[in-house]
């Protein structure tokens, strides 16, 4: 799935010469945390985040979580202009990159959203962690009621086919299948999301095929061996 299918296309933006209170108003009104800064022609020159604003505006102007309070600035209040506090060393992505690319880039860069630009660096959209979560929910089919199984298999050809065949023979629909590394490098963990809550028969069938079923809730990715 490409970024242009999952990004937010109607992006709230701001101009270089706007002041920080204008940015604050936009963020509070639209419930967003990132404002791309563009020129009149749509060329991306920077981005401003809620963290940038918190550094530039007194804390009293921000609403606390779940609070309707927070001081109101008066019309005509001014502050630093956007150009003076925005981030210009931008981490961007193309509309034709994949959501996997976006996910890895966000994780490696420790940012909450990526501006999406074309070859002329003109803003096409923005993709956030929330957008990626929604995209992966759709891809994995976990928006529908079901059950997640974790099956330990030997790393050899044909194992996944045996599992899928067993599930199909039981008349169960698959929402998704993921294969992950395991602590033992000669094995893999297969995560099957089954679109049913009745999994007793398929569990017994997989056990009869000598597969080991693990508890998905005891799967800790941070315990996996790292690869340099």
Distances (CA, A) of 185 to 39, 163, 204: 51, 20, 26
* Average pLDDT value for the chain: 85
Q: Please tell me whether residues 120 and 174 are part of one structural domain.
A: no
Whose CA is closest to 56, among 18, 21, 89, 30?
21
Q: What is the mean pLDDT of residues 166-173?
A: 95
pLDDT of residue 79: 64
User: Pick from 137, 171, 190: which residue ends a domain?
Assistant: 137
Residue 76 included in any domain:
yes
Here the tokens at position 85 are: 């506090």
Percent of the chain past pLDDT 90, that is, above it, reads: 59
pLDDT in tens, 83-116: 888 999 999 999 999 998 999 999 899 899 999 9
CATH number of 16's domain:
3.10.580.10
Token pair 């569990």 is at which residue? 203
Neighbours of 227 (CB within 10 A): 6
CA angle (77 as vertex; 74, 81 as ends), nearest 5: 145
Q: Please tell me whether residues 107 and 191 are part of one structural domain.
A: no
Residue 228 included in any domain:
no
Q: Please tell me whether residues 17 and 123 are part of one structural domain.
A: yes
For 15, which DSSP code? -
pLDDT of residue 68: 44
Whole-angstrom distance, CA of residue 202 vs CA of residue 198: 9
Q: Please tell me whether residues 40 and 56 are part of one structural domain.
A: yes
Contact status, residue 149 vs residue 172, Cβ threshold 8 Å: no
Here the tokens at position 90 are: 């931008």
Residue 171, pLDDT > 70, answer: yes
Dihedral of alpha carbons 166, 170, 173, 176, sign: negative
User: Pick from 84, 102, 137: which residue ends a domain?
Assistant: 137
pLDDT of residue 10: 94
Whose CA is closest to 125, among 92, 85, 100?
92
Q: What is the residue range of 212's domain?
A: 143-223
CATH number of 177's domain:
3.30.70.260
Residue 33 included in any domain:
yes
């Amino acid at each position: 799935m490409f970024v242009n299918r999952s990004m937010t296309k109607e992006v709230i933006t701001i101009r270089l010469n706007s002041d920080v209170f204008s940015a604050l108003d936009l963020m509070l009104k639209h419930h967003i945390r990132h404002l791309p800064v563009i020129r009149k022609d749509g060329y991306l020159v920077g981005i401003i985040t809620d963290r940038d604003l918190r550094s530039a505006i007194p804390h009293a102007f921000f609403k606390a979580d779940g609070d309707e309070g927070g001081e109101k600035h008066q019309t005509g209040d001014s502050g630093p202009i956007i150009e003076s506090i925005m981030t210009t060393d931008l981490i961007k992505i193309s509309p034709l990159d994949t959501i996997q690319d976006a996910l890895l880039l966000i994780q490696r860069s420790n940012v909450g959203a990526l501006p999406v630009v074309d070859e002329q660096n003109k803003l096409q959209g923005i993709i956030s962690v929330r957008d990626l979560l929604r995209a992966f929910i759709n891809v994995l089919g976990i928006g529908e009621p079901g059950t997640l199984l974790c099956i330990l298999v030997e790393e050899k050809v044909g194992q996944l086919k045996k599992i899928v065949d067993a599930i199909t023979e039981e008349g169960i629909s698959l929402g998704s299948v993921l294969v992950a590394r395991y602590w033992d490098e000669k094995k893999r963990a297969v995560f099957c999301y089954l679109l049913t809550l009745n999994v007793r028969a398929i569990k017994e069938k997989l056990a009869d095929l000598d597969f080991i079923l693990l508890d998905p809730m005891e799967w800790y990715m941070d315990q996996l061996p790292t690869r340099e």
